[in-house]
Amino acid sequence: MIFEVLTKDPKTRARRGRLQTAHGFVETPVFMPVGTQATVKSMTGDQLQALNVEILLCNAYHLLLRPGHETIQQLGGLHRFMAWDRPILTDSGGYQVFSLSTLRDLDEDGVRFQSHLDGSTHFLSPEKAIDVQAALGSDIMMILDDCLAYPASRFETEKSMHRSLIWADRCKKHWEIRGRTPNSPWNSGCVPESPALFGIVQGGIYHDLRRESAVRLAAMDFPGYAIGGLAVGEPKPLMYEIIDEVGPHLPAAKPRYLMGVGTPADLAEAIALGVDMFDCVMPTRHARNGWLFTKHGHIVIKHAKYKDDPDPVDSTCSCMVCRRYSRAYLRHLFIANEILSSVLNTIHNLHFYLDTISRIRQFIELHHFDEFLAEVRKAGFTPS
Amino acid sequence: MIFEVLTKDPKTRARRGRLQTAHGFVETPVFMPVGTQATVKSMTGDQLQALNVEILLCNAYHLLLRPGHETIQQLGGLHRFMAWDRPILTDSGGYQVFSLSTLRDLDEDGVRFQSHLDGSTHFLSPEKAIDVQAALGSDIMMILDDCLAYPASRFETEKSMHRSLIWADRCKKHWEIRGRTPNSPWNSGCVPESPALFGIVQGGIYHDLRRESAVRLAAMDFPGYAIGGLAVGEPKPLMYEIIDEVGPHLPAAKPRYLMGVGTPADLAEAIALGVDMFDCVMPTRHARNGWLFTKHGHIVIKHAKYKDDPDPVDSTCSCMVCRRYSRAYLRHLFIANEILSSVLNTIHNLHFYLDTISRIRQFIELHHFDEFLAEVRKAGFTPS
């Protein structure tokens, strides 16, 4: 994977870049819709392409449980399985093991856990996490990390962060060995070149632990770096502080990915702090719950006031939904519990996120990202 | 509305025709997907157009309850509401009043019923049924009929059939009065010309009652005729007998619509008996339940045997789903309860129905429909 910083905003740390992966280019900053179970909920591949989605995130945890990473590998890899020929980033499963599964048995070697689906027992080690993601045919893999719930004590956080560093090192070594092994392609030929591997900075809300994690990961020389363990319940200003703290300790020439964040305003703030990549279920999950993003604030589409409303969700929005359908129709679909409600709301919300990112890229290219940021802060638009 | 019979099959009563409506042409025989609540479940308008859906059926009963026909009228009519610019046929609501609602109070004037949604009380008369469909801006309306459950005694059936005839006459008169009233357009200008009105033949499984209903409706001179009250539980051979009985008593120059039928084999049999139009929830409902139609029989996609199956649902199918996705992926989506399962299965099943109809049209044009029918009977394909 090649990462190039094309230009930098002079007044913030925002950067405009480009990732080159085995499945094509990704312009950054980028927002990655979440396709947990090998599908961005309710979206066809055509619809995602029409929205100009450049890269998806899929969850190794969910896919190893169902249908199984070996099954997907036999079927030609995740890209073939879900008929998506653009890049895919997979997370390692760490976060889900610690948040979804039960009866975890954690030691230095890895974590034994029970499936949230059927209670079956599984084991994930740093090496296994790499193998699972390789079987899926991921373009960008994540290391296995130890994820704590918020709040966590300094003692717990330090212990967990150090375990994550050890696991990061083991992931990196296993990834390098696999990459060097002749006639042992990453994914049975599904991926034309080696996938990238990102380290993940942990350390909770403790600045010095975050710094230590970033510095030591940077020394391991990963192709990219993620900031994990944020947006888990801590106050927003604290989240921004941590991002601000971590950023300067990561190599400037490598992409930076803030995991699981966030609102459109969060994206703008984090981009100002030098973040390049994001994923979040917010646009898609909120869509299914009838929460629609607009430049003028959000709309809860089930409200009775939209019953007769002939206007689109956002008259300044150019998405397919706003060009064709009234709030009254979208409300009707939601109230009637129609599947099309999820489909149309998801198209609108993803368009909003991708359009916001697209505008941000333009502002950075014009070296006026500070103006966009000021606008966002003034409007207070789409707070969490 | 103009109906033209373009050609007839020489060995059966199958005909190839064309309907001209306010919203464009419809080639017949035609299958109308069901868009009960102003949406064909899980489908966007783009997807329906890509499938070459020519006409939809919507349910006046559901729409008068939610969001309300006046609401839809204020919003510019049903076409505008659901952003569908091709023809729409609406049923009058009779069938749903008698099958879905509770506490019905039926007399000669009409039927008072309670909504299956919230228990609110509503009244539907022949005149009101026309007004509701006019408010929706339907291209083809149906008369209000009295629909019996199967089985029903001869006495009950006769009484009900006679009531339906009286209601048919009242519907027709009200439709004519509305059509003649100057400055009283059908639908506030939403529809460029008057909608058509179809009579509905009733009479249960009693040949003489069916004949009487057909003859008396034909005398009323409707723009088209439907056969109602079939596919409600009676044996298949009996259904075909009734269609065979009714057909010759309906005007040959008018379209014939078999309501709520049926399997692809049913369509072929009914077309051989001179039927031009069909609607059925089968392709869409079965899709959501994971039942997929193929030329070689049906597939129940949840079966374990498809877990690793890399083949498409039907290797001879040209639909978007069969060109891209494996049975293994479709099974995964179904098992994981993903919305995309309904979307993709619906696209496949609708394609199957529309492709079957398209092949039937070609066989009729070539005057070899008997060959298609023989093939269907031999294969026994997609039985109910």
Residue A145 and residue A199 in contact, taking contact as beta carbons nearer than 8 Å:
no
What is the H or E stretch that residue A245 is in?
helix A236-246
Report the alpha-carbon angle A258-A259-A262, nearest 5.
85
Three-state secondary-structure class, residue B124: strand
Per the CB < 8 Å rule, is B71 touching A328? yes
Q: How far apart are CA B308 and CA B321, in angstroms?
A: 17
> Is the predicted pLDDT of residue A195 greater than 70, yes or no?
yes
The pLDDT score that the predictor gives to residue A98 is 85
Ramachandran assignment for B109, one of left (phi > 0), alpha (psi -120 to 50 degrees), beta (any other): alpha
Q: Which of A193, A343, A286 is nearest to B343 (CA)?
A: A343
Distance, CA of B362 to CA of B365 (rounded, Å) = 5
Closest CA to B210 of B243, B178, B174: B243
Cβ–Cβ below 8 Å for A41 and B81: no
- Going by C-beta distance under 8 Å and a sequence separation of 6 or more, which residues neighbour residue B248? none
- Give B183-238 pLDDT, tens digit per residue: 555 545 544 568 999 999 999 999 999 999 999 999 999 999 999 999 999 999 99
A279 is catalytic: yes
Give the residue carrying structure tokens 């967990």: A160
According to DSSP, the residues that pair with B57 across neighbouring strands are: B34, B89
Is it the case that residue A307 has pLDDT exceeding 80?
yes
Q: How far apart are the first and last CA of chain A?
A: 33
In Å, how far is A345's CA from the nearest CA of chain B?
12
The identity of residue A141, as a single letter, is: M
Local structure of residue B74 (DSSP, 8 states) = H
Q: Flag whether the pTM goes above 0.90.
A: yes
Which residue among the candidates A139, A145, A279, A314 is catalytic per the annotation?
A: A279
For residue B90, the one-letter residue type is T
Structural domains in chain A plus CATH codes: 2-280 (3.20.20.105), 282-377 (no CATH)
User: How confident is the model at residue A100, as a pLDDT?
Assistant: 83
Contacts of A7 (CB under 8 A, 6+ apart): A15, A16, A364, A365, A367
B75 in contact with A at a CB cutoff of 8 Å?
A: yes
Q: In the prediction, which pLDDT does B97 show?
A: 87
CA distance B361 to chain A (A): 30
Give every residue of chain B whose pLDDT is below 70, as ranges. Answer: 103, 182-193, 380-384
B333 touching A (Cβ < 8 Å): yes
Phi, psi of B123 (to 5 degrees): -130, 135
Distances (CA, A) of A204 to A148, A234, A347, B29: 8, 9, 34, 66
CB contact under 8 A, A326 and B81: yes
B220 vs A: CB within 8 A: no
| pLDDT mean over A243-263 | 97
**Distance spanning both ends of chain B, measured CA to CA:** 33
Maximum separation of any 2 CA atoms in chain A, in Å = 65
- Identified catalytic residue from B91, B139, B146, B314: B91
ipTM: 0.96
* 3-state SS assignment for residue B47: helix
Say yes or no: A324 contacts chain B, CB-CB below 8 A: yes
The pLDDT, as a whole number, for residue A210 is 98
Report chain A residues whose CB lies below 8 A from the CB of B75.
Answer: 308, 310, 326, 328-329
CB contact under 8 A, B71 and A343: no
Question: How far is C-alpha A64 from the chain's CA centre?
Answer: 18
Q: pLDDT class for A182, splitting at 50, 70, 90?
A: low
Tens digits of per-residue pLDDT, A78-103?
A: 999 999 999 999 999 888 888 887 76
Contact B338 A45 (CB under 8 A): no
**Is the pLDDT reported for residue A187 higher than 70?**
no
Contact criterion met (CB < 8 Å) for A338 and B75: no
The active-site residue, picked from A9, A91, A266, A276, is A91
B91 is catalytic: yes
Instruction: Write out the H or E segment, with its range, that includes residue B123.
Output: strand B121-124
